[in-house]
Structure formats: C-alpha cells, structure tokens
C-alpha cells in the first residue's frame, strides 16, 4: 500500500515518528507521501523525508489555510527554491472556504501560482478543496489544456462533484478514513460514481482516523482499514484493492520508484 497523504512531519508525531513508521511498514505500507503546508515547517518536513529517503517522499506547497500566516509572496518565492529532484509533487495546495472566505481572491491567486509550478516542473498536484467546488472547477478549467495530473485529496463530496473532478483524466481521488464512518455517504458515492482505477489511498494523518480508531490520532498504518472498506464497497478481495490503488498512485507520482531495496 501507499499512503499518498500523511502529515508525518507534524508536531503530533514528534515523540514517536520512528515507531509510527515501523507500524506503517508492519501494516504493509511501502511508501508515505508527505505534503507541505507552509514555509516555516518545510525545512523540518524535508529533514524527516531525508532521514528515510526511499520511504518518505516530500511535496512542496502552501496550504490555503496558511496563506495569511506569512507574506505569501515571499513564502512562495522561497518555497519554489526548495523544489528539487526529491520533490514528488506540488502540494498541499488548493482552496478552503469552510471557515472563512474573506481571502478568497488571495487563495485563488496562490493556487494559480502553484499550478504554474506544476506546469513548469512537470509535477503532479496534491489539491485540497473544502466548500470550494465551483471555484475549484473554474480554476482547473483555465488549466485544462496543460494536461495537469495529481490527486484531489480527501474527497468526501457528492456523485456529481466526483464526476466533475473525474473529467480531468490524469487525476485520482484520494479516499481516506471518512469512508469507514458509520453515517458517511461516501461509500455510496464511491460505488456509484468513482471507478477503482481512479482511487488512491490516504490517511491525512494525524486527522480523521478510520473506524475502529476514529477519534484517535491517525497514522499511516491505519490506511489498511480504508483499503479493507474499499474491498467491501467494490466487492473485491483486499489484494486487488491494494494492487490497483498502488498502480494508480505510481501512475500519478512518476518520480517514485516502488521496487527498490526497501
């Protein structure tokens, strides 16, 4: 399995990150992809990934919720300088109007700026979108001809929204712990509107741990519970889910080599 989205560099893992990695490996997780969210935390993210270079793979990005925490023009300039051969994607980027849309135009500006990085460096995007589907589609339409690729991370939307996003042929939908929540409608959406060939696994740890660990700190080992639930939804065996979602991830994240010494 590949956990395509885990904030393993966060303070929630400061005390036991090595144990978290060991548990993930024991659970069958062969790779963890680590998204960036702001300038100040990116050096630590890169350091963590460099300590496990064939297991943890870094992304570079400015998260929409963090754009006003720093001078985002300066932050973007410095973050772009950190993009190197180890960078597997531009992310976590996107739009979030859940709490506040006061800075909507700034969010769109920053998102567009980072899309241009993806075009320039030929890297996939790790896209965050919350309460912003219409605006997301407007931005993406402007870049449809660029043949962008990536993941629409933490998808929890409707069937119609899923079908909208799937019109971008080089993108996958990231499915995580919400799939396992008792009252979630995501299982029906996945079954009716999202082919297995367009799904990648993720945890978004430390957030949204799947059942039976809901409410606890999430970690990459728990991605297995998501794969198990997908097997139920698609009425497929577990190994089929793992093989297909891994193939999907490698199709997007082309710089990652899976069959290595680790």
Question: What does the mean pLDDT of the chain come to?
Answer: 96
In the structure, what pLDDT confidence band is assigned to residue 262 with cuts at 50, 70 and 90? very low
Question: Would you say residue 155 lies in a domain?
Answer: yes
- Domain total of the chain: 1
Question: Would you say residue 260 lies in a domain?
Answer: no
Does 64 score more than 60 pLDDT? yes
Q: What are phi and psi of 39, to 5 degrees?
A: -65, -45
Q: Provide the residue range defining the domain that includes 234.
A: 2-252
In the structure, what pLDDT confidence band is assigned to residue 8 with cuts at 50, 70 and 90? very high
Question: Would you say residue 261 lies in a domain?
Answer: no
Does 245 score more than 60 pLDDT? yes
**Are the C-beta atoms of residues 114 and 61 closer than 8 Å to each other?**
yes
Does 254 score more than 90 pLDDT? yes
Please give the pLDDT value at position 259: 60
Question: Would you say residue 16 lies in a domain?
Answer: yes
**Are the C-beta atoms of residues 89 and 67 closer than 8 Å to each other?**
no
- pTM, rounded to two decimals: 0.96
Does 260 score more than 80 pLDDT? no
Q: 91 by DSSP, 3-state: which?
A: strand
In the structure, what pLDDT confidence band is assigned to residue 59 with cuts at 50, 70 and 90? very high
Q: What is the CATH number of the domain that holds 202?
A: 3.20.20.140
Question: Would you say residue 45 lies in a domain?
Answer: yes
Question: Would you say residue 185 lies in a domain?
Answer: yes
């Amino acid at each position: 399995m590949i956990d395509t989205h885990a904030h393993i560099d966060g303070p929630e893992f400061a005390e036991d990150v090595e144990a978290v990695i060991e548990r993930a490996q024991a659970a069958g997780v062969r790779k963890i992809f680590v998204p960036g969210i702001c300038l100040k935390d990116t050096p630590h993210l890169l350091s963590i990934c460099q300590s496990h270079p064939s297991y943890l793979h870094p992304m570079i990005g400015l998260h929409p919720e963090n754009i006003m925490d720093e001078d985002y023009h300066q932050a973007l300039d410095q973050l772009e300088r950190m993009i190197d051969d180890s960078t597997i994607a531009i992310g976590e980027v996107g739009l979030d109007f859940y709490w506040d849309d006061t800075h909507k135009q700034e969010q769109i500006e920053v998102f567009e700026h980072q899309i241009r990085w993806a075009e320039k460096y030929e890297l996939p995007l790790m896209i965050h979108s919350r309460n912003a589907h219409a605006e997301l589609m407007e931005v993406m339409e402007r870049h449809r001809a660029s043949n962008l690729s990536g993941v629409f991370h933490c998808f929890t939307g409707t069937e119609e929204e899923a079908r909208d996003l799937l019109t971008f042929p080089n993108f996958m939908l990231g499915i995580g712990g919400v799939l396992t929540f008792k009252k979630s409608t995501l299982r029906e959406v996945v079954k009716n509107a999202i082919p297995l060939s367009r799904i990648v696994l993720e945890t978004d740890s430390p957030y949204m741990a799947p059942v039976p660990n809901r409410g606890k700190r999430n970690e990459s080992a728990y991605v297995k519970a998501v794969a198990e639930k997908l097997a139920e939804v698609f009425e497929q065996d577990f190994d089929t889910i793992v093989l297909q979602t891994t193939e999907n991830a490698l199709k997007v994240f082309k710089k990652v080599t899976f069959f290595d010494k680790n």
